[in-house]
Structure 1
Amino acid sequence: MSLTIHRNGDRPTRSAPEKWFTGQVWMTPIIETPAPAALRTLSVTFTPGARTAWHTHPLGQTLYVTAGQGLVALEGEAPQVIRPGDTVYIAPGIRHWHGAGPDTSMTHIAMQEERDGESTDWEEHVSDADYGRQPA
């Protein structure tokens, strides 16, 4: 097939798995490209205080913030504030987390490629102490 159109509402928004997220998070699929392409893209909305677990991506990840104000942090570093229009690139294999600020929701488009059918390696939940660090 050379052209695919996914109509708005064709793919439902779903609650993100508690296994990989803290707080209320909503995920709306944008695209999972057919092989040989390997792009997986989602719109993700985090309610205040919600965040991912620690994770890595075998081929890296790009985030594009569309609404609200959020946080992103690499292991061992203070979180950084991200706002609408910001684009964040996390290199392959770098342990990180991202989510909403403590008092604000945040929506971003998350883009990552799959390698051998996997786009994300999930780890443990981010502690309140790590989440609560003063942003850089």
Structure 2
Amino acid sequence: MQILPTAPEAPSAQGPAEWFTGEVWIDVVAVPPDPSRLRVNAVHFTPGARTHWHRHANGQTLHVTEGVARIGTRDGAVLEVRPGQTVWTPPGEWHWHGAAPGAFMTHLAMWEIGAADGGPDTEWGEAVTDAQYDA
């Protein structure tokens, strides 16, 4: 067992425009050494900010720590998730997540790298429209 060092070379980073709509900041929480494939980021969304559509080869777990999250799927379902609640998106499920209007939101995003077929662990798609976000 060991306490992992804090990575001063990895300060808060603004989420890239090709992955997010609105202002989003990312803090890397955990990148354990091999053979672990787990990655954890704290992602901070301004009101109304959200990811683009995306999916994860091994699924993704989201744990809301503050604010109100919206999480949507291609079938049009949109969940509102509150602090302390956790959501699992299964492998390959297209989804998006972000802050509800009028509230900042932070969640822990947890996923495993390394797709079984050798492809990317995360595949990014198009921006979520206002109509999809407001559903």
Aligned AA for 2:128?
V
Instruction: Name 2:5's counterpart in structure 1.
Output: 6
Instruction: Name 1:96's counterpart in structure 2.
Output: 95
Distance 1:32 1:8 in 2: 10
* Contact 2:67/2:106, CA 8 A, preserved across alignment: yes
Aligned AA for 2:122?
T
State the secondary structure of the residue aligned to 1:99. strand
Distance 2:85 2:6 in 1: 26
Compute the displacement of 1:77 (Å).
2.1
How do 1:92-131 residues align onto structure 2 when only pairs under 5 Å count?
92-115=91-114, 116=118, 118-131=120-133
Compute the displacement of 1:40 (Å).
1.0
Compute the displacement of 1:117 (Å).
7.6
Aligned AA for 2:10?
R
Instruction: Name 2:57's counterpart in structure 1.
Output: 58
Instruction: Figure out how many residues of one structure are paired with residues of the other and give that number.
Output: 132
Compute the displacement of 1:12 (Å).
0.6
Distance 2:33 2:119 in 1: 11
State the secondary structure of the residue aligned to 1:129. helix
Q: Percent identity?
A: 44
Change (3 A) 1:34 1:8: closer
Distance 1:70 1:128 in 2: 15
Compute the displacement of 1:49 (Å).
0.6
Root mean square deviation of aligned Cα: 1.7
Give the structure-1-normalised TM-score: 0.90
Distance 1:62 1:104 in 2: 21
Comparing 10-19 with 55-64, greater Cα deviation is found at: 10-19
